[in-house]
Structure 1
Amino acid sequence: MIVLGCNGFTRVSDVFAERFGASGRDKHYLLGHDAGAALLVDGELVAAVEEERLNREKKTTDFPVRSIAWCLEHAGIEFSDIDLIAIPFDFSPEVLDQMLSGIASAPMPPAAKLQLLGDIGALYTDVVSHEAILADFAERTGFTPDPDKVVFVPHHLAHAMTGYHAAGLQDSAFLISDGRAEVLSTITGEIRDGRIRVFEESAIGAEYSMGLLFSALTRFLGFVPNNDEYKVMGLSGYADPPSPNPLLEHFVQLHDGGTYSFARPLATDDPWGLDPLFEEYFGPFRDDLAYRSRVAAAAQEMLTAVTRHQLRALEARTDLDRLLFEGGVALNCLNNTPLFESSRFDSMEVSFGASDTGVTIGAAVHAWLSHPSASGAPRPTPRVTPYLGPEYGDAAIEQALAEFAGRVRWTRLDDEEELVERVAELLTGKVVVGWYEGRLEHGPRALGHRSILANPGFPDIKDVINTRVKHREPFRPFAPIVLESDAPKIFEMGRKDRSPYMTFVFPVRPEFQDVIPGATHVDGTSRVQTLTEEDTPRLAALLRRFTALTDVPCLLNTSFNVAGEPIVCTPVDALRCFLGTEIDHLMLGNHLVSKTSG
């Protein structure tokens, strides 16, 4: 069975801008961000790519026409070969009735209520209804799908199935938390033998969304909501939370059964509505590190308290020992480590597609497993890899190099040992190296195929990359990559033995804090990525050789892009980023590239 998952809407950004004022800094405060496509063939994930990597618009909401075309081309199939199309949203008429009923009963002035009813009606009719999505698909692709072959998957169930597939289709409990889905923001439940059971009494509506609350705090601190929450996470390490924490003391209320509410329900159409309350709690906004980090620390403590409360209830409801944590909130790796360590679960997984980048995968998996033909059929253990996107061979690389002739010079290194040796020797110095190989990784984190690498043994290397390369805030930390076998020697990993997707944070052992200062955050922790020979053989070989030359057991790893742009996809993208920054060297496939003088 061939299943295509796709996420993205042609008109959604226009409707949100026109109807809700969500533009500029608030443009990601909407549905359909992280547009993309994924292709599942007989349960094997053969292709997945985010639309932003192809259209070069970060966090694009546009219909994923390029992503769909690439997935089909990669697999050598046509639209007529597809058995099912899976959409990771289900705005059914019943969901619309829930939304409209909620507005009708809300304590709002009649004029505002009428306006919001009209706005939601326009969003439904023009963008998210089943009919609108089918029409959008036909208009953008030229292929009219059979409505009987289109599966609309509730958004949170798509998140759950993303984690389930990445965990090898093993029975698991799950916690899903993000900004909002159709009408909910978080659910818990179980997956047994491919069937989902939601613990309905634990579901939280969008009006009490932890993801939206964290996004509102992100916006309050001057960042882009639904995009820059990781900056708040990084800032939180610079301060202790206020005691008592006003967010926990006055705003968030924990209830029995793992549920919670807010002292004031969120107006999900108004991302600015809580700003006066935040100033009441923390004082008038000040654009300085001390103020921002204090608010960030309060937000981080609140997030940990709420998710731990949810997890306690889930532990009491399930006898399963594996936990899947998915949704945008699960990307808060600073929360994930204490959440797991304080739980009774034997394992906790956060996939490379935990945010909305992965819902195309989960929607396709859900459609496959829910189809009658899947009942009772054997299910092979899926091959789990984040390297699911486009790959460009020597011909494409050399054509790209020719386009930039005169601005770059290069040496081709076909001997693998020589290539690794040359790059390892470069990294012994205070240089920054672009690293480009193989298939594009999926998700928001650099996982070793489109990376910027440096030597974490230099205390100021973080400042070098933030200012000269990434063009971003100086407080932002960088993650170390380390061989999985070496990680416990360097980091206090507790009950975790691997962290391949930078979704957990661990303290750096005291004896290594002076060895890798460039990858150690101000609070003494690191967001670790572990790797193996099987995952990334060339990068593993580079790390072994670098360690042999320097006695530094890690490399600093960050995504190959600059602030505000997607991770590079093509060789041309890589060269443009290389030439537009102060990256010193570029390993482009088998080509070691440097800049010409002048």
Structure 2
Amino acid sequence: RLVYQDMSGFLPEYERADAVKHPLYRARDKVVTISHHLAHAYSAFAVCPFNEGAIMIVDGVGSYRSDAMETYPDNEAGSQLARESESYYTFNGSQLDCLKKIWMEPDRGFLSDEFYNMPGLGALYSRASTYVFGDWNKCGELMGLAPYGRHDAIGPLMQIADNVLTVPRWSPDYNQPYVPDQDGKWENHPSMRHWEDLAWRVQDDTEKVLLARARWLRETTGAKNLCIAGGVALNCVANGRITRESGFDKVWIQPAAGDNGIAIGCAYYGLLELQQQPRRFVMKHSYTGKTYPDADVEAATRRTLVKAQTRAVRSDNICRDTAKLLTDQQVIGWFQGGSEFGPRALGHRSILADPRRPEMKDTINSRVKHRQPFRPFAPIVLAERAHEIFEGDEDSPFMLIAKPVRPEWRDRIPAIVHVDGTARVQTVTEDTNPILYRLLREFEALTGVPVLLNTSFNVKGEPIVETPRDAIACFLTTGIDHLILHDTMVSKTAAHRFIAPLVQTYMDVAGLVLSNVK
């Protein structure tokens, strides 16, 4: 808001007035803005576990060429209105150097076109998301749909030769877009086969281009370590191939790889570049959210409408008690510590379940998540056991690497195996998440399986729960069987069957009334 407060049309008036009052606005010499990919780069290398290496930044769209701050080789043709698509860097300690930038030119003028119509890698993925789902920001769903597509139905949409990427325009063949509020229910659309094929093609092209870029970066720099950020870094299937096939010894991916992670990059630019401080911190986990004391949990469970339909009991061994419920096929809401920074639920705001039965996926979808049935659920696994169950030895603490499930385990944990035989793995260590680690150990002791199904603690279209009150609200309005708040187990009583519909009716009526208030 501080950046745009002087630019008419970028902010509503009430936000503009608020920004002008901000103390940083009054002291203009204390405000520094940095370009988009530079912020992504700092978010990646400044908190990574390596002292030196290479950086890959790929997203939908970055800053204009005229706004790029860092020095870069000026051998790429483009106007001042071209936008960042890909950026490649090397780093040593706190020193960052730009090796190459890939620019996108506006297709029909910079104000007349959305970014996803530009000829870029991330932009094409968002264009396909818009075509299939009617929303440019459904890239995760597109990735989940891709394995259902036929490999030979659609020709390549991206081609790379001599390190030059070509992204052709949509051909007239792409005339079956999904139009929300016009085409009816998405799942029943007659174009589904075409959409599956397109999803596979875009995903396969993306993997091949990213892998070619990573191999070029490895050969050009000789670096052994790679850091990745930018929205495309949330493509865990492509990340898996980069990790296994690019030639880098180690790959680290910023867990807040999208634009929310830019806040980290801006902060570290100030620390390393402006204040000339050395790097000290390594981001081993993403549990940076506010922690809520037991008093907040108690207050949330003692609210009148909550007490009337639940029973809250403190447990002396919450991990053992929860593991027993999980083996009984109970769906658990799991709330611990501070929330995760980034889009993934990594065991502090999670819904957990037993992965040993294939029907558990449908159970969670129908009773809790209400999302498309093709989307996979992710496993959490004890880090020291991961290599026995999934291919590859690399850790995946942020659920950003897809790994093939070993054949002998696919029938043992079917609820987390996607149609292509892969899973989006989160490895758990005792030092980064001790209580989740203990839960996995307890579940393994009962079942012989050191894996749980994990999905975010929310319903489709809602944010992940943040507070104990949020968690209870989600618990009471879904088919979650039990809620764990720290060491308190909350269960629904028989009265919930009668009270919940009355509360829901009241909320529906209240929402209708408020929506009609002028």
Three-state SS of the structure 1 residue aligned to 2:175 is helix
Given candidates 244, 250, 260, the residue that maps to 2:165 is 260
Contact 2:119 2:168 in 1 (8 A): no
The Cα shift of 1:275 comes to 8.2
Aligned residue type for 2:372: E
* CA drift at 1:169: 5.7
RMSD (Å) for aligned C-alpha atoms: 2.7
Distance (whole Å) between structure 2 residues aligned to residue 237 and residue 140 of structure 1:
51
Q: Distance in 2 between matches of 1:139 and 1:123?
A: 9
The equivalent residue for 2:180 is none
Seen in structure 2, the aligned counterparts of structure 1 residues 443 and 381 have a Cα distance that, compared at 3 Å, is: closer
Offset at residue 291 of structure 1 (A): 2.9
User: Alignment partner for residue 141 of structure 2, among 222, 228, 231?
Assistant: 231
Output aligned runs, 1:22-171, within 5 Å.
125-127=8-10, 138-139=19-20, 141=22, 144-168=25-49, 170-171=51-52
1:194 to 78, 94, 100: 94
CA distance in 2, matches of 1:142, 1:570: 30
Quote how far apart the aligned CAs of 1:280 are: 8.7
1:278 equivalent in alignment to 2:197: no
> For 1:216, which of 124, 127, 150 is the aligned residue?
127
CA contact (8 A) 1:467 1:474 kept: no
Alignment of 1:388-403 (within 5 A): 388-403=288-303
Q: 2 CA distance for matches of 1:306 and 1:426?
A: 45
Q: Please state if 1:304 is matched with 2:200.
A: no
1:289 and 1:425 map into 2 onto residues whose CA distance is 40
Residue in structure 2 matching 1:294, options 197, 216, 219: 197
Q: Which runs of 5+ in 2 are unaligned?
A: 64-82, 106-114, 178-182, 498-518
**1-structure distance, mates of 2:381, 2:227:** 24
Does the alignment pair 1:317 with 2:224?
no
In structure 2, which of residues 473, 479, 492 is the aligned counterpart of residue 582 of structure 1?
A: 479
In the other structure, the counterpart of 1:440 is 339
| Partner Cα distance (1:259, 1:137) in 2 | 45
SS at match of 1:127: coil
Tell me which residue corresponds to 1:409. 311
Indicate if the aligned counterparts of 1:241 and 1:295 stay in contact, CA closer than 8 A.
no
Q: Quickly say closer, same or farther: Cα 1:358–1:365, change in 2 above 3 A.
A: same
Aligned counterparts of 2:8 and 2:89: Cα–Cα separation in 1: 31
**Amino acid in structure 2 at the alignment position of 1:334:** V
Match of 1:177 among 58, 83, 91: 58
Runs of 4+ with deviation above 6 angstroms: none
The 3 A distance-change label for structure 1 pair 549 and 470 is same
| Equivalent pair of 1:203/1:259 in contact (CA under 8 Å) | no
Cross-structure match for 2:427: 530
Please state whether the residue corresponding to 1:279 is helix, strand or coil.
coil
Cα distance in 2 for residues equivalent to 1:305 and 1:535: 33
Task: Find the aligned partners of 2:296 and 2:240 in 1 and give their Cα distance.
Answer: 41
**Paired amino acid for 1:232:** L
CA distance in structure 2 between the partners assigned to 1:333 and 1:146 by the alignment? 42
The CA distance in 1 between the partners of 2:403 and 2:164, in whole Å, is 28
- Give the TM-score, by structure 1 length: 0.71
Question: 1:219 corresponds to which letter in structure 2?
Answer: T
Identical aligned residues as a percent: 38
Number of aligned residue pairs: 454
State the alpha-carbon separation in 2 of the partners of residues 380 and 162 from structure 1: 14
From 444, 447, 454, the equivalent of 1:547 is 444
Q: Provide the C-alpha distance between the structure 1 equivalents of 2:168 and 2:24, rounded to a whole number of angstroms.
A: 48
Which blocks of at least 5 consecutive residues in structure 1 are unaligned? 1-8, 10-86, 92-121, 265-273
* Alignment-mate amino acid for residue 174 of structure 2: F
Is the 2:285–2:397 contact (alpha carbons within 8 Å) kept by the matching residues of 1? no
Counterpart of 2:290 in 1: which secondary structure? coil
The corresponding residue for 2:507 is: none
Q: Indicate if the aligned counterparts of 1:233 and 1:300 stay in contact, CA closer than 8 A.
A: yes
Does the alignment pair 1:367 with 2:267? Answer: no
Which sits farther off after the overlay, 341-350 or 470-479? 341-350
Q: Deviations over 1:15-73 (max 9, x none)?
A: xxxxxxxxxxxxxxxxxxxxxxxxxxxxxxxxxxxxxxxxxxxxxxxxxxxxxxxxxxx
Residues 215 and 247 in structure 2, CA contact (< 8 A), matched pair in contact too: no
The 1:383/1:179 distance shift into structure 2, 3 A limit, reads: closer
Alignment CA distance shift 1:379-1:552 (3 Å) = closer
CA deviation profile, 1:117-157 (whole Å, cap 9, x unmatched): xxxxx9954438xxx99967634757645211112111111
Following superposition, the deviation at residue 312 of structure 1 comes to 3.1
What's the secondary structure of 2:87's corresponding residue? strand
Equivalent runs, 1:418-497 vs 2, <5 Å: 418-493=317-392, 496-497=393-394
Please name the residue that 1:23 is paired with. Answer: none
**Greater CA deviation, 581-590 or 395-404?**
395-404
1:445–1:461: structure 2 CA closer, same or farther, 3 Å change rule?
same
CA distance 1:480–1:288, shift in 2 (3 Å): farther
Q: How far does residue 378 in structure 1 lie from its aligned partner after superposition?
A: 4.4
Inter-CA distance 339–382: structure 2 relative to 1 (3 Å threshold): closer
Cα pair distance change 1:365/1:137, threshold 3 Å? farther
Tell me, yes or no, if the aligned pair for 1:169 and 1:381 is still in contact at 8 Å.
Answer: no
SS at the partner of 2:285?
A: coil
Decide whether the 8 Å contact of 1:155 with 1:181 is kept in 2. yes
8 A Cα contact 1:204 1:259, kept in partner: no
The residue type equivalent to 1:234 in the other structure is: G
Give the aligned residue type for 2:390: F
The Cα shift of 1:419 comes to: 1.1
**Residues 420, 545 of structure 1: 8 Å contact kept:** yes
2:503 alignment counterpart: none
Q: Which secondary structure does the structure 1 equivalent of 2:61 belong to? A: coil
Instruction: Give TM-score, length-normalised by structure 2.
Output: 0.82
Distance 1:173 1:234, change over 3 A: same
Paired residues of 1:138 and 1:145 also in contact (CA < 8 A) = no
Q: Is structure 2 residue 345 aligned with structure 1 residue 345? A: no
After TM superposition, the structure 1 = structure 2 runs for residues 378-397 of structure 1, keeping only pairs within 5 Å, are 378-382=278-282, 384-397=284-297
Structure 1 Cα separation of the partners of residues 191 and 356 of structure 2: 29
Of 520-529 and 184-193, deviating more is: 184-193
- Contact in 1 for aligned 2:36/2:62 (Cα 8 Å): yes
Q: Deviations over 1:171-195 (max 9, x none)?
A: 2211111110112121112122222
Q: Output the amino acid matched with 1:151.
A: V
